[in-house]
Structure 1
Amino acid sequence: MTALVLALTAGAVIGLALGALGGGGSVLAVPALIYLLGFSPVGATTASLVIVTLTSVTALVAHARDGHVRWRAGLLFAAAGIAPAMLGGALAARVPAVVLTAAFAVVAGAAAVRMLRTRPPADAAVTVRPGRAAAAGAGLGAVTGVLGVGGGFLAVPALVSVLGLRMREAVGTSLLVITVNSLAALATRAGTVERLDWTVVGPFVGAAILGAWDGKRLSAKVSGHTLQRTFAVVLLAVAVFMLVDAAL
């Protein structure tokens, strides 16, 4: 299978995940870029940030139109994560590839387990606690910078379990967090962005954007609990695969 076909296929799947689940795009993009398209871990994390940033903006617009974005909670998360994301991005190039892969797997697995153990809250009023939102946002920003992920696969469970948002609102709000954190992390990786293979990254982005629109429509037809469990199972499977690969 050619690199173009692989890029289009992987991009469509990742866009679908971002549109429907508000996360999981980067946690799928990084292994796809490494194992299917031959990118180095550092190159894959940088390309993932580009892909996820552009796709998240598209999905965010769609979710915002339906009123599923909690702007205050999202901006608190995002603002607290900007500096840690930039610092993490600057440090990422110094982390050995095997450590980067193993750390990615561990974080993804932990998030998946937490999601499987937490049920979406009932449709009650939500009170956003600024301190908790800022603390969680700073942690997410650091992970985004170092691991090259948008942070959605951690933002969604944090927004659900820490702040008590309903799943659909957590999905929409996480896209705002992903966009800001990814842009901050990319600001420290300008040199590596220039060296990306755009004949692969370009089609990947295009397919992901189209997939995000389909994912948004899917999210309107599936229950929040089903979305949450699907999201967690995918994360756990990817985490196990990458951890085994790092250990070999």
Structure 2
Amino acid sequence: MLKEERHAYILKQINLHNKVLSSDLSEQLVVSEDTIRRDLNELAESGKILKVHGGALSKSFHYPFQQVDAYAKDAKKEISRKALSLIQNGMTLLASGGTTMIELVRMIPDHLTCTFFTISPLVALELAEKPNLQVILLGGQLSRNAQISIGSKVVSELNDIKVDLCLLGANSVSLEEGITDSDWEVVQVKKAMIKSAQKTAIVSIAEKLNSIQKLKVCNLNSIDYLITDLNAQDSLLTDYAKSVQVI
């Protein structure tokens, strides 16, 4: 594979999953980790990604308040419009982090009166702009990569609350493995979020469907809603609709 092809593949994976690990890319592209490190360094020097220890991050994920175009922004806005149909006045909600979630909370109308718990400082700042929302930021160790609270403290706080609806971003979604991720600490927080909610909605661009990460969050039947940018009748969603309500 040519270097340009490797770079295109790496950028695609970062845009889809917000971060990549050098070790995973080495396996997927069947090249040495030294080659991957050189590729990541070149992409970082050209301003396309953020290089971190052991891998790289998406710039739009890491700097959502700056003028960096988020990947698949129109698709994420469509997901947000659909997700808003689940939110009603007086509800207590729990929100994860990520660029899709930021697009979603930006669309919340000013008249809506709800209580929002969130593990994301960035999402909390967006929610705080809405005049009729009560916003509660759950604290813990801040993950520099995922930009959410992680660790035993936030898991303990999640165990003490019960919400009507959890809005949860996903790194990968598949029929066989359900919801998966690449970060052990993030997986533990997501499991606690699902446990604390009466209902859970996964918000994910369709490109993440039929992909699998190494660590499992839950099976599909643990989720109540799957919200993508596709029409609910799209053939790609037919088998998913057997396990979860597709919106």
Same fold (TM over 0.5): no
- Greater relative contact order: 1 or 2 (C-alpha under 8 angstroms, separation 6 or more)? 1
TM-score in terms of structure 2 length: 0.34
Structure with a larger share of its residues in strand: 2
Query: In terms of Rg, which structure is larger?
Result: 2
TM-score in terms of structure 1 length: 0.34
Structure with a larger share of its residues in helix: 1
